[in-house]
Amino acid sequence: MALKALIFDVDGTLAETEEAHRKAFNATFAANGIPWHWSREDYRILLSTTGGKERMAAHQRDLPEKLTPEQIVALHAEKTRRYAEILAGGGLRLRPGVADLVARARAAGLKCAVATTTNLPNVAALTRATWGAAPETIFDAIAAGDQVKAKKPAPDVFLLALERLGLPADACLAFEDSRPGLASAQAAGLRVLVTPSVYTDGEDFSAADHVLPDLTHPLPDLLAEALDARA
Protein backbone atom coordinates (compact mmCIF):
# COMPACT_ATOMS: atom_id res chain seq x y z
CA MET A 1 0.00 0.00 0.00
CA ALA A 2 1.17 3.53 -0.77
CA LEU A 3 2.56 5.56 2.10
CA LYS A 4 -0.12 7.82 3.58
CA ALA A 5 1.16 8.87 7.01
CA LEU A 6 4.23 9.39 9.15
CA ILE A 7 4.11 8.58 12.87
CA PHE A 8 6.74 10.16 15.11
CA ASP A 9 8.00 9.36 18.55
CA VAL A 10 8.72 12.58 20.49
CA ASP A 11 11.58 12.45 23.01
CA GLY A 12 14.86 11.86 21.24
CA THR A 13 13.18 11.64 17.83
CA LEU A 14 11.66 15.06 17.21
CA ALA A 15 14.16 16.76 19.52
CA GLU A 16 16.92 15.89 21.96
CA THR A 17 14.78 16.44 25.04
CA GLU A 18 16.17 13.88 27.45
CA GLU A 19 18.60 16.31 29.13
CA ALA A 20 15.69 18.65 29.86
CA HIS A 21 13.76 15.73 31.36
CA ARG A 22 16.76 14.69 33.48
CA LYS A 23 17.25 18.23 34.77
CA ALA A 24 13.54 18.53 35.58
CA PHE A 25 13.63 15.26 37.53
CA ASN A 26 16.72 16.29 39.50
CA ALA A 27 15.32 19.74 40.31
CA THR A 28 12.10 18.13 41.51
CA PHE A 29 13.94 15.65 43.71
CA ALA A 30 16.05 18.44 45.24
CA ALA A 31 13.05 20.69 45.86
CA ASN A 32 11.32 17.91 47.77
CA GLY A 33 14.29 16.79 49.83
CA ILE A 34 14.62 13.47 48.03
CA PRO A 35 18.27 12.33 47.96
CA TRP A 36 18.24 11.20 44.34
CA HIS A 37 20.35 12.73 41.60
CA TRP A 38 20.40 11.09 38.19
CA SER A 39 23.66 11.44 36.29
CA ARG A 40 23.72 11.15 32.51
CA GLU A 41 24.90 7.55 32.82
CA ASP A 42 22.15 6.82 35.36
CA TYR A 43 19.59 8.27 32.98
CA ARG A 44 20.89 6.34 30.00
CA ILE A 45 20.21 3.14 31.96
CA LEU A 46 16.86 4.37 33.29
CA LEU A 47 15.64 5.15 29.78
CA SER A 48 15.27 1.42 29.17
CA THR A 49 12.17 1.84 31.35
CA THR A 50 9.59 3.89 29.47
CA GLY A 51 7.50 6.48 31.29
CA GLY A 52 8.57 8.95 33.98
CA LYS A 53 6.56 7.46 36.83
CA GLU A 54 7.72 4.00 35.84
CA ARG A 55 11.31 5.26 35.75
CA MET A 56 11.07 6.50 39.34
CA ALA A 57 9.62 3.18 40.43
CA ALA A 58 12.44 1.34 38.68
CA HIS A 59 15.08 3.55 40.33
CA GLN A 60 13.84 2.81 43.83
CA ARG A 61 13.36 -0.92 43.31
CA ASP A 62 16.47 -1.84 45.34
CA LEU A 63 16.38 1.08 47.75
CA PRO A 64 15.46 0.45 51.41
CA GLU A 65 13.11 3.44 51.62
CA LYS A 66 10.57 3.83 48.87
CA LEU A 67 8.18 6.49 47.67
CA THR A 68 4.50 5.57 47.67
CA PRO A 69 2.61 5.39 44.35
CA GLU A 70 0.82 8.58 45.37
CA GLN A 71 4.10 10.38 45.98
CA ILE A 72 5.43 9.25 42.61
CA VAL A 73 2.34 10.60 40.85
CA ALA A 74 2.62 13.95 42.65
CA LEU A 75 6.35 14.25 41.96
CA HIS A 76 5.85 13.40 38.31
CA ALA A 77 3.21 16.11 37.95
CA GLU A 78 5.65 18.62 39.49
CA LYS A 79 8.43 17.38 37.21
CA THR A 80 6.14 17.87 34.18
CA ARG A 81 5.61 21.52 35.17
CA ARG A 82 9.35 22.04 35.57
CA TYR A 83 10.03 20.43 32.20
CA ALA A 84 7.57 22.80 30.51
CA GLU A 85 9.30 25.75 32.20
CA ILE A 86 12.71 24.57 30.97
CA LEU A 87 11.47 24.29 27.38
CA ALA A 88 9.67 27.63 27.58
CA GLY A 89 12.98 29.19 28.58
CA GLY A 90 14.27 28.61 25.05
CA GLY A 91 17.17 26.78 23.51
CA LEU A 92 15.45 23.59 22.38
CA ARG A 93 15.70 22.84 18.66
CA LEU A 94 14.15 20.15 16.53
CA ARG A 95 16.58 17.51 15.38
CA PRO A 96 18.13 18.13 11.94
CA GLY A 97 15.71 17.51 9.11
CA VAL A 98 12.59 17.12 11.27
CA ALA A 99 10.94 20.46 10.48
CA ASP A 100 11.65 20.10 6.77
CA LEU A 101 10.29 16.55 6.61
CA VAL A 102 7.08 17.43 8.45
CA ALA A 103 6.53 20.46 6.20
CA ARG A 104 7.21 18.44 3.03
CA ALA A 105 4.95 15.62 4.19
CA ARG A 106 2.06 17.95 4.92
CA ALA A 107 2.55 19.73 1.58
CA ALA A 108 2.52 16.35 -0.15
CA GLY A 109 -0.76 15.37 1.49
CA LEU A 110 0.70 12.86 3.92
CA LYS A 111 -0.74 12.80 7.41
CA CYS A 112 1.57 13.28 10.40
CA ALA A 113 1.00 11.82 13.85
CA VAL A 114 2.68 11.39 17.21
CA ALA A 115 2.95 8.14 19.17
CA THR A 116 4.82 8.77 22.39
CA THR A 117 5.29 7.42 25.88
CA THR A 118 5.36 10.94 27.27
CA ASN A 119 2.18 12.75 28.31
CA LEU A 120 0.14 15.34 26.44
CA PRO A 121 1.44 18.38 28.39
CA ASN A 122 5.00 17.42 27.42
CA VAL A 123 4.02 17.11 23.76
CA ALA A 124 2.48 20.57 23.92
CA ALA A 125 5.55 21.99 25.66
CA LEU A 126 7.76 20.66 22.87
CA THR A 127 5.69 21.89 19.92
CA ARG A 128 5.28 25.34 21.47
CA ALA A 129 9.03 25.56 22.13
CA THR A 130 10.03 24.41 18.64
CA TRP A 131 7.21 25.15 16.20
CA GLY A 132 5.66 27.94 18.28
CA ALA A 133 2.29 26.22 17.94
CA ALA A 134 -0.07 23.80 19.67
CA PRO A 135 0.48 20.13 18.78
CA GLU A 136 -2.89 19.76 17.05
CA THR A 137 -1.86 22.38 14.48
CA ILE A 138 1.20 20.30 13.54
CA PHE A 139 -0.09 16.74 13.82
CA ASP A 140 -3.27 15.11 12.54
CA ALA A 141 -3.35 12.62 15.41
CA ILE A 142 -1.68 12.46 18.80
CA ALA A 143 -1.40 9.29 20.89
CA ALA A 144 0.31 9.75 24.25
CA GLY A 145 1.43 7.47 27.03
CA ASP A 146 -1.21 8.71 29.46
CA GLN A 147 -3.92 7.57 27.01
CA VAL A 148 -3.05 3.88 26.82
CA LYS A 149 -2.94 0.93 29.19
CA ALA A 150 0.61 -0.22 28.42
CA LYS A 151 3.58 1.90 27.37
CA LYS A 152 6.37 1.04 24.96
CA PRO A 153 7.62 -1.59 24.13
CA ALA A 154 3.94 -2.60 24.10
CA PRO A 155 2.29 -1.58 20.81
CA ASP A 156 -0.63 0.26 22.42
CA VAL A 157 0.37 3.83 21.64
CA PHE A 158 1.11 3.10 17.97
CA LEU A 159 -2.14 1.16 17.64
CA LEU A 160 -3.97 4.18 19.07
CA ALA A 161 -2.23 6.47 16.57
CA LEU A 162 -3.28 4.18 13.71
CA GLU A 163 -6.84 4.16 15.01
CA ARG A 164 -6.95 7.94 15.19
CA LEU A 165 -5.44 8.26 11.71
CA GLY A 166 -7.94 5.74 10.37
CA LEU A 167 -5.16 3.93 8.51
CA PRO A 168 -3.66 0.44 8.46
CA ALA A 169 -0.08 -0.11 9.56
CA ASP A 170 1.17 -0.82 6.03
CA ALA A 171 0.16 2.70 4.96
CA CYS A 172 2.40 4.32 7.57
CA LEU A 173 6.05 4.74 8.50
CA ALA A 174 7.15 5.14 12.12
CA PHE A 175 10.10 7.22 13.32
CA GLU A 176 11.89 6.19 16.51
CA ASP A 177 15.16 6.61 18.38
CA SER A 178 15.16 3.78 20.93
CA ARG A 179 14.91 0.01 21.13
CA PRO A 180 11.68 0.05 23.21
CA GLY A 181 10.20 2.40 20.61
CA LEU A 182 11.36 0.21 17.73
CA ALA A 183 9.85 -2.87 19.38
CA SER A 184 6.60 -1.01 20.04
CA ALA A 185 6.20 0.16 16.45
CA GLN A 186 7.09 -3.22 14.98
CA ALA A 187 4.65 -4.95 17.32
CA ALA A 188 1.97 -2.69 15.83
CA GLY A 189 2.95 -3.89 12.35
CA LEU A 190 4.75 -0.72 11.28
CA ARG A 191 7.86 -0.20 9.24
CA VAL A 192 10.36 1.81 11.27
CA LEU A 193 13.03 4.39 10.49
CA VAL A 194 15.39 4.92 13.43
CA THR A 195 17.48 8.04 14.05
CA PRO A 196 19.50 7.22 17.20
CA SER A 197 19.67 10.02 19.76
CA VAL A 198 22.51 11.06 22.06
CA TYR A 199 21.16 8.69 24.70
CA THR A 200 20.57 5.72 22.37
CA ASP A 201 23.41 5.95 19.86
CA GLY A 202 25.08 2.80 21.18
CA GLU A 203 22.03 0.56 20.87
CA ASP A 204 21.56 -2.23 18.32
CA PHE A 205 19.03 -1.17 15.68
CA SER A 206 19.74 -3.93 13.17
CA ALA A 207 16.08 -4.98 13.34
CA ALA A 208 14.89 -1.61 11.99
CA ASP A 209 13.84 -1.18 8.37
CA HIS A 210 16.01 1.93 8.06
CA VAL A 211 18.63 3.61 10.26
CA LEU A 212 19.88 7.15 9.60
CA PRO A 213 22.05 9.47 11.72
CA ASP A 214 19.38 12.14 11.24
CA LEU A 215 16.76 13.20 8.71
CA THR A 216 19.07 15.38 6.64
CA HIS A 217 20.53 12.20 5.15
CA PRO A 218 19.04 10.63 1.99
CA LEU A 219 15.62 9.25 2.83
CA PRO A 220 14.57 5.68 2.00
CA ASP A 221 12.93 5.25 -1.40
CA LEU A 222 9.51 4.53 0.12
CA LEU A 223 9.45 7.95 1.77
CA ALA A 224 11.24 9.93 -0.91
CA GLU A 225 8.87 8.66 -3.59
CA ALA A 226 5.79 9.50 -1.49
CA LEU A 227 7.06 13.03 -0.96
CA ASP A 228 7.94 13.53 -4.62
CA ALA A 229 4.80 11.92 -6.02
CA ARG A 230 2.50 14.38 -4.25
CA ALA A 231 4.66 17.47 -4.38
Residues catalogued as catalytic: 9, 11
How far is residue 46 from each of residues 31, 34, 175, measured CA to CA in Å?
A: 21, 17, 21
Number of residues that make up the chain: 231
- Asked if residues 40 and 225 have their Cβ atoms less than 8 Å apart, the reply is no
Contact 230, 110 (CB under 8 A): yes
How far is Cα 54 from Cα 26, in angstroms, rounded to an integer?
A: 16
Whose CA is closest to 164, among 111, 128, 127?
A: 111
